[in-house]
Amino acid sequence: MIPVSIIIKVLQQTGAMPYISQAFEPLMYPLGLPQEMSLVWVTAMLSNIYGGILALSGIYANNPLSVAQMTVLTTLILFAHTLLIEIPICKKAGTKILPIFLIRVVGGYLFALILNLIYSSFNLYQTIIELPALSSENLSLTYWAIGEIKKYITIALIVMALILILDILERIKVITLINKLLNPVIKLLGISEKVMPLTLVGMTLGLAYGGGLIVAESKEKNIPKKDIFLSLALLSLFHSIIEDSLLMIALGASWTGVFLFRFIVSILAMLIIVKLVNKLPIKYFMDSR
């Protein structure tokens, strides 16, 4: 996150920020977002969610968002983030890069597009979010550095709180209950018993966890390529449903968008993906090895 902060500061000081924003402006306009928010999305894709939040902190003061806009932006990030780590994990399990990339980036953009269309058509969640912790003033480098350190501490506290919540939920068997509730949905998608437990781990704890387990299991057991791809496709759409969702809600996004609607659309998208995988040769989705 420290390199992200420095890069954002350099872009601001050199005046390069507007040029980067302009390059992605055509993608942001249909989503109802300021063009500057493209930098947040790109940062999250290349680094991680927290890097995206730091990028947001540098431009939010001059570009405040409504609840609807924050929900659209955060769901866009939830679909496509940490790509330089998570896509190689999928690749290591045998999947081809292109279909996973399309699912996460193109699929995420289409989801955000639909979400914005719904919010704008019905004039929903138009209240502006006040996030004083994310405001960024034009201060000297010393005060800027102090401000960034405060942000790191804030993010660290948020992460610690989320880890504590996850631990409590696991101890009181809420995670187990969630997994049981998700079990029928995963069966409906045709994901086999061999990868179902690993898929559930990824959905609740994150793609890096679930994907890593799938990589390990695929080396030790004879898991069909179709099952591996369908599991990782689902995790690409919907993973870390507790931690990431809570984080985005803490920023002011609506839970109906970042969790409920995302879950419904992910399942519908998976039904389409399952049909494609059943009709097309597996070589289009998985490596030949």
Q: What is the pLDDT of residue 80?
A: 94
Calpha distance 18→12 (Å, rounded): 9
Calpha distance 267→115 (Å, rounded): 16
Place of tokens 């289009």: 284
Place of tokens 């998208």: 269
Residues 6 or more apart from 195 whose CB is under 8 A from it? 214, 217, 223, 227, 228, 231
Q: What are the angstrom distances between the C-alpha of 145 and each of 138, 150, 151, 156?
A: 12, 9, 10, 16
Angle, helices 67-79 vs 37-46, to 10°: value is 30
Calpha distance 38→51 (Å, rounded): 13
Place of tokens 């409504």: 66
One-letter amino acid for residue 26 of the chain: P
Q: What is the pLDDT of residue 135?
A: 47
Extract the tokens encoding 125: 């969640």
Cβ–Cβ < 8 Å for 200, 248: no
- DSSP conformational letter for 238: S
Task: Write out the DSSP string of 18-38.
Answer: HHHHHHHHHHHGGGT--TTHH
Q: What is the pLDDT of residue 218?
A: 79
pLDDT < 50: residue spans in the chain: 135-137
One-letter amino acid for residue 232 of the chain: L
The structure's pTM equals 0.82
Q: What is the pLDDT of residue 219?
A: 78
Q: What is the pLDDT of residue 4?
A: 67
Tens-digit pLDDT profile for residues 3-35: 766 777 777 677 776 676 677 789 999 999 998
Q: With left for phi above 0 and alpha for psi between -120 and 50, is residue 81 left, alpha or beta?
A: beta
Tens-digit pLDDT profile for residues 114-136: 999 999 999 999 999 987 655 44
Q: What is the pLDDT of residue 84?
A: 81
Centroid of chain to Cα 241? 10
- DSSP conformational letter for 184: H
3-state secondary structure of 174: helix
Calpha distance 111→125 (Å, rounded): 17
Place of tokens 């070589």: 283
